[in-house]
Structure 1
Amino acid sequence: FALAGLFALLTTLVGSDGALGVLFDYLSTLNLILAVFNLVPGFPLDGGRLLRAALWARSGDLMSATRRASLVGQGFGWLLITLGAALVLTGGGVAGLWWILIGLFLNGAAKQSYEQLLVHSAFAALPVDRLLSHPPIVVAADLPLDRFVEDFAYRHHFSLFPVVDQGRLVGTIRTRRVAEMPRGQWPHHTVGELVRPLTPDDMVQPHESAETALQRMQRNGRGQILVVEGDRLLGVLTLHDLLEHLAIRRMLDQNI
Structure 2
Amino acid sequence: MRIARFAMGDGVAYGVVEGESGQPQTISELHGHPFGIDPSGVRLTGQRYPLAEVRLLAPVLPSKVVAIGRNYADHIREMGAAQLPQEPVLFLKPSTSVTGPGDRIAYPVKLTDRVDYEGELAVIIGRLCRDVPKERAEDVIFGYTCANDVTARDLQLRDGQWTRAKGFDTFCPLGPWMETGTDPSDLGITTTVNGEVRQHARTRELLWDVPSLIEYVSAVMTLLPGDVLLTGTPEGVGPLADGDEVSVTIESIGTLTNKVVIRD
The structure that has the greater radius of gyration is 1
More helix per residue: 1
- Sort the TM-score into its range (normalised by shorter chain): under 0.3
More strand per residue: 2
TM-score normalised by the chain length of structure 2:
0.20
Which structure's relative contact order is higher, taking Cα pairs within 8 Å and 6+ residues apart?
A: 2
